[in-house]
Amino acid sequence: MYSISKEIHFCYGHRLLNHQGKCRHLHGHNARAVIRLETEYLDELGMVCDFADIGRFVKDWLNSEIDHNMLLHKDDPVLSLLRESGERVYVMDTNPTAENIAHLIFEEVRKAGFPVVEVALYETESAFASYRRDMRHDA
């Protein structure tokens, strides 16, 4: 198998519902997503995928949806206040943890047709979560 990985840097704010620690407060991260694509064969150029193509897609999607945005659970009581104040929010069905954000990015990349196998989300330089799925076993 061949693989490539592309790193994208972005910023987001969030808070975690029902968290007992400091993550229950609104705060932000300078995050890094690492998107890993994998194929059994290379294309006619000898590539899994052009770095520019996957980089452009993920940057464009992150810029329009996630970057400098506040990611909140749909039941978060602060949502109505932020909306009334004209703030941007990105609403998730799940708690906006690094794990769920990695999963969210994975699904967007997959829907766009890239052979993604794993997305890692570095919330800090020393803490990251990842979501992995082998698409070859999908029906």
Positions annotated as catalytic residues are: 23, 68, 123
Place of tokens 């076993």: 137
CA-wise closest residue to 117 among 41, 54, 40, 37: 37
**What is the 3-class SS of 24-65, one letter each residue?**
HCCEEEEEEEEEEEEECCCCCCCCCCCHHHHHHHHHHHHHHH
Indicate the residue type of 29.
H
The answer to whether 96 and 102 have CB atoms below 8 angstroms apart is no
